[in-house]
Chain A
Amino acid sequence: MARRKGIIKNRPALITVIIVLVLIALMIITAGDQNMSGGESIVGSALVPVQGWIYSATDTIGGFFERVFAPTDLRIENKEMREQIVQYQNDLNTFEELKKENDRLKILLNFKEDHIEYEIVTAKVSGKNPGNWFSVFTINRGVLDGVHKDMPVITSSGLVGRVVETGATWSKVMSIIDSESGVSSIVELTRDNGVVRGTSLTNTSDPLLEMLFLPFDADLLPGYRVITSGLGGVFPKGLVIGDTVEITRGSDNTQKTAYVKPAVDFQHLEEVMIITEFKSDEFVPVIPTEDDINEEVPEEIQQNEDDEIIVIGED
């Protein structure tokens, strides 16, 4: 009782506890609802373009300083010449950035031409979440560009992730290396099915994925390619996820787990493609309706109306 009184009297502690409870409630409320509110969409629409500009400028600025501070024989040159060189180097850096961007866009264009079965929207990565726990990034395409929740996001190298929230002009993408992500997948060579999930934190600079629920008798080796299986309908079949690097047995000796190195370089993501439409290869059983059964009576049966007809599902 005395402690309770103490907390109530201690105003800062009380305010802190109230704020923590409100934030926990907010997290619980928004955990299930992945739709972006109007306010979020507007704030994001205002902030994401600026964020995108800074994100893309980071490389340019870094390159500029690398050049400025590079050891060159500037001692013999006068001040004007130095300024001029810095200017030229800045221009050259911009040119190189544009050239790199052009090359990347060419690759994306080739991919688009090679995969006419996909309707694709290209987008630029405008920011990435800070911290190591999750891997969510923002792109500069939203509902107005035809981007909707759960659409697959790829690069020419392979699968990147899926759209989890969309604003008017921007979206949040959860990458496959996020520990909350799960992709139904298949080993290309052995056709063993599993689920690829991101690992929270690994002891490597490159992120790794784990392929779970593999059959115990799966004959896997490092270097086997893992692709999407198309099950679930979110991702089309055949998108490259990565290559196996290590295979381990489960503790209960009933399943195997494979560690997969993603095909996509998540540290240097700049442009991505969103598949807005694809033809699903998933087997969809056609269930005949009552009308179909009545209309499509084979001629042989019609001729022998007196014969016994057995219809599955009826007594």
Chain B
Amino acid sequence: MKLLVMGVLIFVNVFLSGSVFSQIYLFGVAPDILICFTASIICIEKRVNGVIFAMVGGFVLDIIFASVLGFYTLQYFLGAVVMYYVASRTYTDNFFVPGIIAAIGIVAKEVVAMVIVFFMDQSFSFFFVLLRYVLPAALTTGALTLLTELLMKWIYKFKFMTRRATTEFLDNL
């Protein structure tokens, strides 16, 4: 059941990324909904499930939008790895921490994108892109993560989202 919920969430994220969030660009900046959910999952679970979630989401984005397979997958995978690394060394119960982790994830993801684009022989200014696009996107994504965190916490209250039956057994003792 948890797998099904995660699958549905991935597709909802992909659909929203390709429609709502690609249409509401303000001055070229839009929050990244897939990073928001990934950060929320990583902060709640503190397991690699969030990394897998981001990777599968990135791969579906690759299939639908990218002309080169792996472009989004690599970005989201490494972005999620960085978020997981930070989350595993941070006290994430604070309400604002998932937002900060999501912002870090966006920076990591966009740096990966810059490296890929650099090797595709595209010219751009690193600092211009960082200040003009990446940091504002990190801020908006961080803010939106505060909402997705609430949603994910609500979803994780359901029994089917608990990790193992033993956890429930221990709780009942």
Q: Assess whether A138 is interfacial by the CB under 8 Å rule.
A: yes
Q: How far is B63's CA from A286's CA once the two chains are assembled, in angstroms?
A: 43
Contact for A34 among B22, B67, B73, CB less than 8 A:
B67
Residues of A within 8 A of B19 (CB): 51, 54-55, 57-58, 127-128
A201 touches B129 (CB 8 A): yes
Which residue of chain B has its CB nearest to the CB of A39?
Answer: B63
Q: Given A27-B116, A201-B132, are A165 and B67 also a contact pair (CB < 8 Å)?
A: yes
Which residue of chain B has its CB nearest to the CB of A127?
Answer: B18
How many residue pairs link A and B with beta carbons under 8 A? The number is: 124
Which residue of chain A has its CB nearest to the CB of B133?
Answer: A132
Query: What 1/0 flags go to B37-79 for Cβ under 8 Å of A?
Result: 0000000000010000001000011011111111101100110
Which residue of chain A has its CB nearest to the CB of B75?
Answer: A131
Residues of B within 8 A of A138 (CB): 18, 64-65
A23 touches B25 (CB 8 A): no
Contact for A54 among B15, B34, B61, CB less than 8 A:
B15
Q: Given A19-B77, A130-B22, A130-B32, are A136 and B67 also a contact pair (CB < 8 Å)?
A: yes
**How many B residues, CB 8 Å from partner?**
46
**A18-63 contacts to B (CB < 8 Å):** 19-20, 23-24, 26-27, 29-31, 34, 40, 43-44, 47-48, 50-51, 54-55, 57-59
Q: Given A55-B18, A128-B23, A131-B113, are A40 and B128 also a contact pair (CB < 8 Å)?
A: no
Q: Assess whether B81 is interfacial by the CB under 8 Å rule.
A: yes
Which residue of chain A has its CB nearest to the CB of B12?
Answer: A54
Q: How far is B64's CA from A250's CA once the two chains are assembled, in angstroms?
A: 38
Q: Which of A116-124, A172-180, A254-262 makes up part of the contact surface?
A: A172-180
Residues of B within 8 A of A130 (CB): 17-18, 21-22, 30, 32, 34, 61, 65
Q: Assess whether A16 is interfacial by the CB under 8 Å rule.
A: yes
Q: How far is B116's CA from A109's CA once the two chains are assembled, in angstroms?
A: 41
Q: How far is B29's CA from A205's CA once the two chains are assembled, in angstroms?
A: 9
Interchain Cβ contacts under 8 Å between A and B, 16 examples = A19-B55, A19-B77, A20-B77, A24-B70, A30-B68, A34-B67, A44-B64, A51-B64, A57-B19, A127-B22, A130-B18, A130-B30, A132-B133, A133-B117, A136-B65, A180-B67
